[in-house]
Amino acid sequence: DVKVTQSSRYLVKRTGEKVFLECVQDMDHENMFWYRQDPGLGLRLIYFSYDVKMKEKGDIPEGYSVSREKKERFSLILESASTNQTSMYLCASSLTGRLNTEAFFGQGTRLTVV
Amino acid sequence: AQTVTQSQPEMSVQEAETVTLSCTYDTSENNYYLFWYKQPPSRQMILVIRQEAYKQQNATENRFSVNFQKAAKSFSLKISDSQLGDTAMYFCAFVGGNQGGKLIFGQGTELSVKP
């Protein structure tokens, strides 16, 4: 059974804290993604990684960074959390090389910044 | 830049009826795929159906089918014989040949199936 696991389902952090969201996949996928989901805005891509140590900015990278030191793990880092980063964060992974490849998603992390 | 637009924030349908969710997209690419994903209240996003741009035949998966109009850049999802378990957020998504596998999503449509 394929799996994408996000380390937390719910997080509450204080403004200014450095926040780490972790994602692990067990499918040996090359591609990994971090999306932010907000009502009425759908899923917006924050960062994308197509290989270990490789990353590309998505549509809304400001205030975020990522780390991919191992193929199975993709971390999203909020350098200094702000209240406008309160949101649902979704991690996903997929195979590279085929456009029709299915993306697999984690359960999501609901982050609240107070 | 590619964009995906879902203009129906919410829809409802009676159990056993048919419902159609709309999606339009904009791209200059010729080689791409379109997807519909479903996110039930439990939040795990799953793939419903996918369509290759080069295929004229509309994709079908059991009760789910698409109406793909390439010239109009339209990709609607039809759910037949709606079931209570179809209640979910539905997202239309696009991946282009020049995008390195990046999925671009629409705003989502929240579908409620009523008994």
pLDDT of residue A1: 67
pLDDT of residue B82: 98
**CB B86 within 8 Å of CB B62:** no
CA distance A25 to chain B (A): 14
Distance of alpha carbon A56 from alpha carbon B102, whole angstroms: 10
pLDDT of residue B38: 97
Binary contact (B33, A103; C-beta < 8 A)? no
If you count residue pairs, one on A and one on B, with CB atoms under 8 Å apart, how many are there? 63
Q: Which of B6, B31, B43 sits opposite A107 (nearest CB)?
A: B43
Binary contact (B103, A103; C-beta < 8 A)? yes
Distance of alpha carbon A87 from alpha carbon A38, whole angstroms: 6
Binary contact (B101, A50; C-beta < 8 A)? yes
Domain that holds residue A71: 4-113
Q: Which of A31, A43, A44 sits opposite B101 (nearest CB)?
A: A31
pLDDT of residue B2: 82
The domain spans of chain B are 3-114
Binary contact (B44, A107; C-beta < 8 A)? yes
From A102, A81, A101, A76, select the one nearest A23 (Cα to Cα). A76
pLDDT of residue A98: 73
CATH of the domain at A26: 2.60.40.10
CATH topology (fold) of B3-114: Immunoglobulin-like (2.60.40)
**CB B6 within 8 Å of CB B23:** yes
pLDDT along chain A (114 residues), means of 10: 88 97 95 94 94 92 97 97 97 84 92 98
Distance of alpha carbon B110 from alpha carbon B11, whole angstroms: 6
Give the bridge partners for B37, in sequence order.
Answer: B47, B91
Which residues of A fall within a CB distance of 8 Å from B105?
A: 35, 42-44
Low-confidence ranges of chain B (pLDDT < 70): none
Say how many domains are in chain A.
Answer: 1
